Amino acid sequence: MAEIRLEAVTKNFGDTTAVANVDLTVRDGEFVVLLGPTGAGKTTTLRLIAGLEKPDEGRLFIGGRDAAPLSPAERDVAFVFQQYSLYPHLSVYENLAFPLRSPVRRRDEATIRKTVERVASMLRIEKKLQNRATRLSGGEMQRVAIGRALVRSPSIYLMDEPLSSLDAKLRSDMRLELQHIQRDLGATMLYVTHDQIEAMTMATRIGVLDHGRLVQVGTPREIYEAPRNVYVATRLGMPSINLLPAAAFAGQPMPPGAATIGARTEHVVVGRTTQGRSAAAKVDWIEHLGDQNHLHLSLGEHKLVTLVDPDMALSVGDAVDLSLKGALYFGADGERIAA
Amino acid sequence: MSGASTTAHSVVEPSANSKRLAGFLVILYAVVSMVPLAWIFATGWKTPPDSISYPPKVVFNPSLEGYCNLFTTRTRQTAEYIAALGAPNGECDEVTRRREMVIAGASNYLPRFANSLIIAFGSTFLAVSLGVFSAYAFSRFKIPLADDLLFFILSTRMMPPIAVAIPIYLMYRALGLSDSALGMILLYTAVNVSLAVWLLKGFIDEIPREYEEAAMIDGYTRLQAFFKVVLPQAATGIAATAIFCMIFAWNEYAFAVLLTSGQAQTAPPFIPTIIGEGGMDWPAVGAGTTLFLIPIVVFTVLLRKHLLRGITFGAVRK
């Protein structure tokens, strides 16, 4: 296990900058999740660390050592690709044994067998070991891909959306499984996803990427409660944060300079009675989720989505009063202003 | 298609009638294209008079004379001389004596056939090896002027190879490569390598880079990853390319006539020379041609299963 440190790393592909001046330290044993939409530079960051791409600028250290002269094999990282990349001409067993048979970390066959069987049973694919890698379901392939990383004890695990093609049930199982594995091994892990639930539940720290720039790094709680700007605020939260111009809640006390109100569902208080500092809204639509209802509201020309208790008897067209409780405020430049 | 024959089949399934028609056409085409082969095969088992009889004999008594004449050289002798000899030594001896000849020695067919094997396999191996490395480089690395280089490589196929026969003849004479197996291997390799690069580049382009990247992260160098991961997956393409190269090198006639005459002569220019030895010996030509077909058929059949694509598909999500 080792610490990874990126110092002002930049990578361009032609005219586009995939990774821009990123500083990031993944501490030993830490589970860091990089969050961002497609094209934010998440995968490129992983590939730079793995040595599959060379940075145009900046430096990269693995376990305190400058990684620049090291080949991918010498960096001692494990990489789980989004596309599985199982070797199609090999069986599941041979796929899992492949890293252990490499010239740089050759093990004897008995050790290989033991390791492969241990990992296979951990991932519940022990019955599939003799199958061809192509004769598996998507979920099984993804588990083999994860298993190929787990047979080794690399200095860092790099995972590129490893759960993206699993169904919802298997995904939540694997999410727990990965957290246990990470904790048991004390593994350093850098994990890329655009799924905010994965980021929130698994990460020690989250790094939010936007067009190659690392906008904010912090614990899931920090990112959720104290986003640096509007962009970070919109990355987390279900339903996503409501962004309203400050004028929509003219009666509310606001920090000076606030141009935009960021109201998460817990910041929005829906009431029937008219109170002092509230605004009147109309119910547009209600989605019943069982334990909760999604309430679609219009406040003047603005739309909001919030969660309400299903006990609250509302129907489409009802007028409700809205007030804010501890909302986030952003200036005209999109940066957050402390309330 | 008549509306009455609607069945439970899906709409893309051809009807029974169109399948029958397709089958008939395929069989008809196969029969038509097999006739010359059958003719050659039959001629090999005829006697010389049967082979030139008109109308052609479809039913005949098979004779070993063609094969005997193919493998031997014979000299004419008087009847008295032949009568004075002891009992004939085997079938061929007997057949030869019936024509008032005796066997003088072995013909050049076997050495020429061996030349063909060496030159065809040698040049195929070289062309495919060079092709697969170049194709990998063109597919994976940023090569300056890659498109122009690829076009240049392809352009060597834009004229018939024989158009450059005379410069090559002069060049080979100056370099001492005339009538040498090495010269023929290099020549056929040069002709085939462009085809090999283009064919194999297409196959390698389709192998996702992630496989090599995964292997490199798993502790292999690029070259090891190439051998362990790329080559097995390119097997289909390599087999197909090898068959095309092999067929060209095996059947090539014009250069072989021009550049080889003795030592390094291949079977194609040798077989027609049989005709001249003691009359129109068509059965020997038929026999020589039949045997000549065998290696290429075996080679193709052995590699056939690799030609079936699709076995490696599906392990990378697209």
Q: Is B219 on the interface with A (CB under 8 A)?
A: yes
Same-domain status, B25 and B174: no
B76: left (phi over 0), alpha (psi -120 to 50) or beta: beta
* Phi, psi (rounded to 5 degrees) for B66: -60, -50
CB atoms within 10 A of CB B192: 28
**Are the C-beta atoms of residues A255 and A264 closer than 8 Å to each other?**
no
pLDDT tier, A199 (very low <50, low <70, confident <90, very high otherwise): very high
Query: Mean pLDDT lowest for which of A212-221, A243-252, A285-294, B285-294?
Result: A243-252
**Are the C-beta atoms of residues B11 and B1 closer than 8 Å to each other?**
no
**Are the C-beta atoms of residues A283 and A271 closer than 8 Å to each other?**
no
Q: Which residues of A touch B312 (CB under 8 A)?
A: 88-89, 134
- CA distance linking residue B124 with residue B245, whole number of Å: 6
Q: Which residues of A touch B310 (CB under 8 A)?
A: none
Omega prior to A239 cis, within 30 of 0: yes
**Are the C-beta atoms of residues A199 and A35 closer than 8 Å to each other?**
yes
Confidence check: pLDDT of B314 > 70? no
Q: Which residues of A touch B224 (CB under 8 A)?
A: 102-103
- CA distances in angstroms from A10 to A20, A48, A63, A211, listed in the order given: 5, 10, 20, 12
Domain for residue B314, yes or no?
A: no
Of B4 and A103, the structure prediction assigns the larger pLDDT to: A103
Q: How far apart are the CA of A175 and the nearest CA of chain B, in angstroms?
A: 21
**Are the C-beta atoms of residues A324 and A281 closer than 8 Å to each other?**
no
Same-domain status, B92 and B215: no
Same-domain status, B300 and B193: yes
Closest CA to A195 of A38, A5, A310: A38
pLDDT tier, A325 (very low <50, low <70, confident <90, very high otherwise): confident
- Residue B161 DSSP symbol: G
Same-domain status, B90 and B34: no
Same-domain status, B79 and B227: no
Per-residue pLDDT of A52-86, as tens digits, reads 999 999 999 998 899 989 999 889 899 998 887 88
Amino acid symbol at B302 = L
Beta strand A189-193 pairing with A319-324: unpaired
Burial of residue B90, with CB atoms counted within 10 A of its CB: 0-12 exposed, 13-18 middle, 19 or more buried: exposed
For range A129-142, the mean pLDDT: 86
Confidence check: pLDDT of B93 > 90? no
Q: Is B213 on the interface with A (CB under 8 A)?
A: yes
- CA distance linking residue A258 with residue A328, whole number of Å: 9
| H/E segment holding residue A2 | none
Of B174 and B280, the structure prediction assigns the larger pLDDT to: B174
- CA distance linking residue A180 with residue A188, whole number of Å: 13
Q: Please give the pLDDT value at position B81.
A: 87
- Residue B227 DSSP symbol: I
CB–CB contact A103 B220 (8 Å): yes
Q: Write the ipTM.
A: 0.82
pLDDT tier, A35 (very low <50, low <70, confident <90, very high otherwise): very high
Q: Please give the pLDDT value at position B163.
A: 85
Same-domain status, B29 and B91: no
User: Dihedral of CA B42/B44/B49/B54: which sign?
Assistant: positive
A14: left (phi over 0), alpha (psi -120 to 50) or beta: left
Burial of residue B295, with CB atoms counted within 10 A of its CB: 0-12 exposed, 13-18 middle, 19 or more buried: middle
Q: Is B223 on the interface with A (CB under 8 A)?
A: no
For range A93-97, the mean pLDDT: 94
- CA distance linking residue A234 with residue A240, whole number of Å: 6
Mean pLDDT across chain A? 88
Matching CATH number, A242-337, of 2.60.120.260, 1.10.274.10, 2.40.50.140, 2.60.40.1080: 2.40.50.140
Beta bridge partners of A321: A271, A280
For range B291-304, the mean pLDDT: 89
pLDDT tier, A99 (very low <50, low <70, confident <90, very high otherwise): very high
Domain for residue B69, yes or no?
A: yes
Confidence check: pLDDT of B240 > 90? no
Beta bridge partners of B17: none
Residue B24 domain boundaries? 3-44
Full strand arrangement of the beta sheet holding A302-308? A268-271, A319-324, A279-288, A293-299, A302-308
Closest CA to A51 of A4, A115, A118, A117: A4
CB–CB contact B216 A98 (8 Å): no
**Are the C-beta atoms of residues A197 and A304 closer than 8 Å to each other?**
no
Question: Chain B residue with minimal CA distance to A133?
Answer: B315
Per-residue pLDDT of B16-33, as tens digits, reads 899 999 999 999 999 999
Q: Please give the pLDDT value at position A59.
A: 94
Query: Mean pLDDT lowest for which of A304-308, B130-134, B151-155, B158-162?
Result: B158-162
Share of chain A above pLDDT 90, in %: 41
Nearest 10 degrees: Cα torsion A132, A134, A135, A141: 100
**Residue spans of alpha helices (H) in chain A:** 42-50, 92-97, 109-122, 138-150, 168-185, 196-202, 220-225, 230-235
For range B255-275, the mean pLDDT: 89
Q: Please give the pLDDT value at position B312.
A: 44
Per-residue pLDDT of A7-27, as tens digits, reads 999 999 988 899 999 999 999
CB–CB contact B217 A133 (8 Å): no
Q: How far apart are the CA of A80 and the nearest CA of chain B, in angstroms?
A: 8
Confidence check: pLDDT of B309 > 60? no
Same-domain status, B268 and B126: yes
Per-residue pLDDT of A228-241, as tens digits, reads 999 999 998 888 89
What's B238's domain CATH number?
A: 1.10.3720.10
pLDDT tier, A2 (very low <50, low <70, confident <90, very high otherwise): confident
A327: left (phi over 0), alpha (psi -120 to 50) or beta: beta
pLDDT tier, B5 (very low <50, low <70, confident <90, very high otherwise): very low
Same-domain status, B281 and B293: yes
Matching CATH number, A4-235, of 3.40.50.300, 3.30.70.1350, 3.90.79.10, 3.40.50.850: 3.40.50.300
CB–CB contact B219 A71 (8 Å): no
Q: Please give the pLDDT value at position B15.
A: 85
**Are the C-beta atoms of residues B128 and B306 closer than 8 Å to each other?**
no
Q: Quickly tell me which residue has 């994976």 as its tokens.
A: B140
Of A96 and B159, the structure prediction assigns the larger pLDDT to: A96
Same-domain status, B70 and B164: no
pLDDT tier, B250 (very low <50, low <70, confident <90, very high otherwise): very high
Question: Chain B residue with minimal CA distance to A53?
Answer: B213
CB–CB contact A88 B219 (8 Å): no
Q: Please give the pLDDT value at position A212.
A: 92
- Report how many domains make up chain B: 3
Same-domain status, B276 and B159: yes
Nearest CB neighbour to B217, from listed A77, A84, A89:
A77
- CA distance linking residue B266 with residue A55, whole number of Å: 56
Q: Please give the pLDDT value at position B91.
A: 85
For range A183-206, the mean pLDDT: 91
Confidence check: pLDDT of B62 > 70? yes
Mutation site, B217, B227, B233, interface A, largest A CB count within 10 A = B217
Same-domain status, B235 and B93: no
- CA distance linking residue A315 with residue A318, whole number of Å: 6
**Domain assignments of chain A as residue spans, ordered by start:** 4-235, 242-337
Same-domain status, B119 and B242: yes
Confidence check: pLDDT of B159 > 90? no
Confidence check: pLDDT of A147 > 80? yes
Q: Is B214 on the interface with A (CB under 8 A)?
A: yes
